[in-house]
Every structure is written in structure tokens, then in C-alpha cells.
């Protein structure tokens, strides 16, 4: 982001953040990359929670809590991509955000 701002003189806004996510062929790399990043974050949280948690919460055992957390992570990943791609339609960019 700093390089884009200083070298390319681009504003670090929404378009800057989702440019590669909505541009073919870059999206073939960045969709799995960002998706796995979000899922691995939740996966690490779930693993720690499952190992350390010993009490039930709302009648759920620790394994059920971990499963619920992982399902929430998958849901957040899907909702994030839906929002960042304008409902899977793609985002239109101003001309200055085409960096290639």
C-alpha cells in the first residue's frame, strides 16, 4: 500500500484494496489467497479454543463451539467476497487504478 501511494500516487481507498480481487487473471491467485487467509485465521482461533476451553457455553460443548466458530468463519469469508466483488458482479474502477 505504501508503494502504491508513494510511487504510483494512488489513494489507498476501496478501489485500491479490491483492484486485484476483481481483475482477471489476478483474481485466480488472490481469491484463494484471501479466502485461505481468513479461514486460517479462524482455524487457528478454533484450534486454540478447542484445546483450552473446558466449560460449556449456552449448552454447547467445546467441540460444538469450535465447529460453530469455524462455520462463522466460512460465512464471513463468503460475505466478505460477496461485498468486495459487488455481489459477484465485479467492481468498476477509475482509470488511475489500472496499474498494469
C-beta neighbour count of 63 within 10 angstroms: 12
Render each residue's pLDDT in the chain as its tens digit; 100 residues.
Answer: 566 667 766 667 777 778 778 878 888 998 999 999 999 999 999 999 999 988 888 888 989 999 999 999 999 999 999 998 888 787 777 666 555 4
User: Residue 20 has what pLDDT?
Assistant: 78
Distance CA 72, CA 94 (A): 34
**pTM to 2 decimal places:** 0.75
Calculate the alpha carbon distances from 95 to 75, 91, 98 in Å: 33, 12, 6
User: Residue 27 has what pLDDT?
Assistant: 85
User: Residue 22 has what pLDDT?
Assistant: 82
Calculate the alpha carbon distances from 100 to 7, 8, 34, 58, 93 in Å: 14, 11, 21, 52, 13
**What is the number of residues in the chain?**
100
Amino acid at each position: 500500500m505504501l508503494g502504491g501511494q508513494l510511487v504510483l500516487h494512488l489513494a489507498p481507498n476501496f478501489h485500491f484494496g479490491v483492484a486485484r480481487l476483481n481483475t482477471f487473471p489476478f483474481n485466480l491467485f488472490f481469491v484463494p489467497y484471501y479466502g485461505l487467509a481468513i479461514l486460517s485465521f479462524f482455524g487457528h482461533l478454533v484450534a486454540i479454543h478447542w484445546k483450552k476451553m473446558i466449560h460449556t457455553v449456552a449448552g454447547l460443548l467445546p467441540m460444538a463451539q469450535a465447529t460453530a466458530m469455524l462455520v462463522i468463519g466460512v460465512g464471513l469469508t463468503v460475505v466478505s467476497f460477496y461485498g468486495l466483488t459487488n455481489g459477484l458482479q465485479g467492481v468498476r474502477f477509475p482509470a488511475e487504478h489500472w496499474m498494469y
